[in-house]
Amino acid sequence: MRRLSAAVTAALTTSAIAATLLSGNAYAAPTPSPALQSQDAPAEALVGPEGKEAPEGPLAPQEKTRQALRTKALEQLNQGALAKTSAGTAPKKVKIGNEYVQLAQERKDKVFVILAQFGDQVDNSTLHNGVPRYAGTPGPKHNLIPQPDGSDTHTFWKNDFSRAYYQQMFFDDRAGANSMRNFYRTQSSGRYDLDGTVTDWVTLPYNEARYGSNKGPQGNGAWTQAQEFIRDATKAWYDGELAKGRTAAEVKAEIQQYDVHDRYDYDKDGNFDEPDGYIDNLVVVHAGVDETWGGGAQGADALWAHRSWALPDPTGQVGPQGNKIGGAPLGDTGVFAYDYVQGGENSGVGLFSHEFGHNLGLPDLYPTSGGDNSVSFWSLMSSASYLGRGKNTTGEYPGDLDAWSKLQFGWLNYDEAQAATRSSHALGVSGYNTDQAQAVLVHLPPTKKTTTLADPFEGGSQWYSGTGDSIDNSLTRTVDLTGRTSSAAISAATWYDIEQDYDFLSVEASTDNGKTWKSLGGTVDGAPIGNTTANTPGLSGTSNAWRQLNIPLDAYLGKSVQLRFHVTSDNNTHGKGVLVDAVKVTADGATLLEDGAENGDQGWVLNGFAPLKGKDSVKEHPRAYLVENRRYVGYGAYLKTGPYNFGYSGVEGKAGVIDNYPYQEGVLIWLWDTSFLDNNTKDHLGGGMILPIDSRPQAMKFKGGVLVNGRAQSHDATFSLSPTSAFTLHSAGVATKYPAKPGIPVFNDRTGVYSDPAIPQLGVAVPNTNTKIEVVRETQGGKLTTIKVGPAS
């Protein structure tokens, strides 16, 4: 029996349960313009009003490492190899090789929010392709967003976006208050809390176009220019505090309170609860509408809502003492801004909660490469940052995190079951902890994937890096060059198939026991090695054949040095990986090492690399079903009132009018497949990292046969004994009624088909594991639901 602690009970009293009873004025968030409807993608997708998707920003090296470690930890969690805590949740941290990664988020964080409006300086002198790169108009200052008229029933507006408004929006902990603080207290059942401060509005020197223009080589202006926005915003705040008469010591004492967490474990000691020289949680709100919503009066000159990193420095020259990874200094405090979240003036609890989820380590669950998938309003990390309670409240309230996101944060109490094996489970609501489990993790047989590479350069074996998004793999050994005086080098045969200009193979050296690494220059087949996006030596693209790599080591003569082959990839698109063979180290005309992976590690330290016999790599990937009970309680209540459809395109005076319709209560079954590292079903139909399985996969259509948008297609995905509810949607002003349907209580992966060729990106190809999951009882309005897991035949 699970019993709630006093802290958890208090959190539920003040936030989750009370949230269903919210009344009075609340703080709304804007929604995508009608032109965004077909994209069905939330803010982080960076989708413009024309339906175009802007490029994703690059991952900071430290975040790339963290995601790679988290992926490995989650694979262990999927297959049941990680021991749960005594409370039945995921562990706080996991050791992967010689590094640690944090899973459970159980603490109280401090969040620093800067409000930044734009100045009157306009840069017309900086040119790109012969025309001004920035230009634009002065400003905007805050409180200049026009009030929506009666033709718009979704956009949020307030006559005064004041400091007090944002203090409440982010940190209000009163019972029933809709705030980011109460949202995360509810999702974590009291395990995670946040508090902080909001600054006065500060004014930057330049107009918004200087930071958000799409005319430059950065494309969407969301990254380098936005990072300069963070730099200027933090400087404006610091300078403003001194101008008020505060001393530098007073400001330093304040800001140091916001540096107590070591996000990336920079000193590799496994202690995440210590300062690292960087502000832990920085949020910057900019004046005006962000480009996620079309940019308002600034249009394509507006900034995008996103979470990113301010001015990374791979050379190790900028940053706090002992941890120089880049960032923007907060004056003379000694603390730097690096990780940050950014959004527009009328972006509310939903959008900022979504971006803050990234700040905590969650990925997007919508398809970042475009198109649709089945997640939609079922998770905050997809479209559930846009829920509401009807007219002009879309985005005012965030929807629940999915069970998978809560699982990795240690916020989910769950049972475990085995494929095709009989067990019975009582489920409480998934929104927060009760006496029953919130979900069931059903372990499935792993899937096997074969990657065909190249025959070994010599012998029968070779070193293989593995492949995937956000990998950070290395093959490392120590080489003793003490007493050596001339002509040292490392050479190897290498074969590579990695994404051009985004994924890289580097040879690196360390003389401080791996604390810092330097990328080494050299040649490949006699030609100079190219550079990475950090302007350091590295190979990229496809070799098409074995290439000879040669790296001089003369700089390390007389020293003991660690050398590594280091393979990294970004968070989207990857090739087959990297092969290394016939490694040779020479000095003074003598051979110090020859290795071709024929005899195991032989002094190598493997992090993601492995010896491979032959040319075919076969890897097992854990899989599981994650079964949760979704009900209209807590923030789940807004699944009943919040999902929306722009139904009046082309109808004069109604372009911004929306229909609201309910997502259906019941048992939601997700397929968690670790062979995928994203949910981009356009690129791999029927499969993704974590996808809900639609109990009614048949395509919905409007009158006339036009397909309903992808978000609405997933509204009735749940399994239940109860019938669905009826509703009406419009297309170009024409109504289509959708009647109630009988409940579907049984999921069967042996005989069931959960896709429709008419909407292939929304279907899930379930594995045949001979598993059946059945809803057998729903009491207390479904808040207590019993399911049975067993063999399908």
| Pairing status of strand 616-630 against strand 439-452 | antiparallel
Domain boundary among 591, 614, 637: 614
Q: How far is CA 420 from CA 408, 423, 425, 673, 749, in A?
A: 25, 9, 15, 17, 10
pLDDT tens-digit profile of 763-789? 999 999 999 999 999 999 999 999 999
Q: Are residues 505 and 422 in the same domain?
A: no
Six-digit token string for 378: 């079922």
What is the rounded CA–CA span in Å between residue 602 and residue 505? 22
Which tens digits make up the pLDDT trace of 490-547?
A: 999 999 999 998 899 999 999 998 888 999 999 999 999 998 877 889 999 999 999 9
- CA distance linking residue 555 with residue 558, whole number of Å: 9
DSSP code for 114: E
Q: Are residues 572 and 436 in the same domain?
A: no
pLDDT above 60 (res 590) = yes
**Is residue 771 assigned to a domain?**
yes
In angstroms, how far apart are the furthest CA atoms of the chain?
A: 84
Residue 5: which pLDDT band, with cuts at 50, 70 and 90?
very low
pLDDT at residue 392 in the model: 78
**Cα–Cα distance for residue pair 379/648, rounded to 1 Å:** 26
Full-model pTM: 0.86
Note the pLDDT of residue 53: 39
Residues 353-389: tens digit of each pLDDT: 999 999 999 999 999 888 999 999 999 999 999 899 8
What pLDDT is stored for residue 41 in this prediction? 32
With beta carbons less than 8 A apart as the criterion, state whether 558 and 482 touch: yes
Distances (CA, A) of 103 to 66, 675, 677: 10, 20, 17
The yes-or-no verdict on residue 39 having pLDDT over 60 is no
Domain assignment present for 353: yes
- What is the rounded end-to-end Cα distance, in angstroms, of the chain? 32
Shared domain for 781 and 641, answered yes or no, is: yes
* pLDDT single digits (tens) 151-163: 888 887 889 999 9
pLDDT reading at 9 higher than 80 = no
Q: Per-residue confidence at 436, pLDDT binned at 50, 70, 90?
A: very high
3-state SS class at 177: coil
Condensed to tens digits (0 to 9), the pLDDT of residues 170-220 reads: 999 999 999 999 999 999 999 999 999 999 999 999 999 999 998 877 544
**Which stretches of 149-294 are DSSP H helices?**
163-171, 180-187, 209-212, 224-243, 248-256
Give domain status of residue 604, yes or no. Answer: yes
pLDDT at 12: 37
Question: Domain containing 468: what range?
Answer: 454-614
Closest CA to 458 of 544, 548, 390, 522: 548
**Neighbouring residues of 664: CB distance < 8 A, sequence distance ≥ 6:** 715, 716, 717, 718, 720, 724, 725
Same domain? For 390 and 479 the reply is no
HSE of 294, CA atoms in CB hemisphere, 13 A: 14
Query: What are the angstrom distances between the C-alpha of 315 and each of 529, 538, 724?
Result: 18, 14, 58
**What would the two tokens of residue 357 be?**
């989820």
Please check whether residue 293 lies inside any domain of the structure. Answer: yes
pLDDT value of position 218: 59
User: Hey, what amino acid is at 619?
Assistant: K
**Range in 258-262, 371-375, 388-392, 621-625 with the lowest mean pLDDT:** 388-392
Number of domain units in the chain: 3
Query: If phi over 0 gives left and psi between -120 and 50 gives alpha, with beta otherwise, what is residue 299?
Result: left
Cα 219 to Cα 55: distance, rounded to the nearest angstrom: 8
Quickly state the pLDDT bin for 570 (edges 50, 70, 90): confident
Round to whole Å and give the CA distance between 459 and 612.
Answer: 11
Q: Give the pLDDT of residue 79.
A: 84
Measure the CA–CA gap between 506 and 521, rounded to whole angstroms: 9
Q: Determine the 3-state secondary structure of 7 from DSSP.
A: helix
Type of residue found at 353: S
Check the CA dihedral 415-421-426-431 and report its sign. positive
What's 508's domain CATH number?
2.60.120.260
Mean pLDDT of the chain: 90
What per-residue confidence (pLDDT) applies to 363?
A: 92
User: Helix, strand, or coil here: 194?
Assistant: strand
Q: Is the pLDDT of residue 603 over 80?
A: yes
Pairing of strands 472-480, 605-607: antiparallel
Phi, psi dihedral angles at 354 (to 5 degrees): -60, -50
443 and 458 belong to one structural domain: no
Q: Which residues contact 292 (CB under 8 A, 6 or more apart)?
A: 32, 43, 46, 47, 304, 305, 344, 347, 351
Q: Do 433 and 506 belong to one domain?
A: no
Task: Look at residue 8 in the predicted model and tell me its pLDDT.
Answer: 35
**Residue 74 φ/ψ, nearest 5 degrees:** -70, -30
Helix (H), strand (E), coil (C) string for 452-478:
ECCCCCCCCEEEECCCCCCCEEEEEEE
**Amino acid present at 388:** G
Residue 1 lies in a domain: no
Counting residues of the chain whose pLDDT is more than 70, the rounded percentage is 92
Residue 677: the pLDDT is: 87
User: Is residue 566 domain-shared with residue 666, that is, in the same domain?
Assistant: no
**Is residue 23 in some structural domain?**
yes
Could you write out the DSSP letters of every residue in 312-323? B-TTS-SSSTT-
Q: In this structure, are residues 292 and 43 in contact, taking their beta carbons and an 8 Å threshold?
A: yes
CA–CA gap between residue 167 and residue 160 (Å, rounded): 13
The verdict on 40 and 73 lying in the same domain is yes
Distance CA 265, CA 276 (A): 8
pLDDT of residue 222: 52
CA angle 413, 379, 767 (to 5 degrees): 75
Total residues belonging to the chain: 793
Rounded CA separation 355/310 (Å): 15
Name which of 536, 54, 563, 72 is nearest 312 in CA terms: 536
Alpha carbons 386 and 42: distance in angstroms, whole number: 8
Tell me how far apart the alpha carbons of residues 56 and 366 are, in angstroms, rounded to a whole number: 13
Alpha-carbon distance values, 778 to 416, 423, 667, 718 (Å): 20, 17, 10, 13
What's the rounded Cα separation, in Å, for the pair 513 and 98? 12
What is the structure's pLDDT at 96? 87
Structure tokens at 138: 């002065």
**Residue 127: predicted pLDDT:** 92
pLDDT score of 1 = 27
Long-range contacts of 84-88 (CB under 8 A, 24+ apart): 85/410, 87/413, 88/2, 88/413, 88/414, 88/437
Strands 504-510 and 560-568: antiparallel
Select from 407, 439, 470 the last residue of a domain. 407
Mean pLDDT to the nearest integer, 68-95: 85
Same-domain status, 501 and 523: yes
Instruction: Provide the 10 A C-beta neighbour count for residue 24.
Output: 6
253 exposure class (CB count in 10 Å sphere: 0-12, 13-18, 19+): exposed
Q: Stretch 392-421: mean pLDDT, rounded?
A: 93
Region of poorest pLDDT, from 83-92, 123-132, 538-547: 83-92
Angle between helices 163-171 and 180-187 (to 10 degrees): 0
- Reported as a single tens digit per residue, the pLDDT across 642-684 is 999 999 999 999 988 999 999 999 999 999 999 998 999 999 9
- Which of 614, 647, 672 represents a domain boundary (last residue)? 614
Same domain for 678 and 643:
yes
- If asked whether residues 401 and 442 sit together in one domain, one would say no
The verdict on 345 and 224 lying in the same domain is: yes
In a domain, 786, yes or no: yes
Segment 378-405 shows an average pLDDT of 91
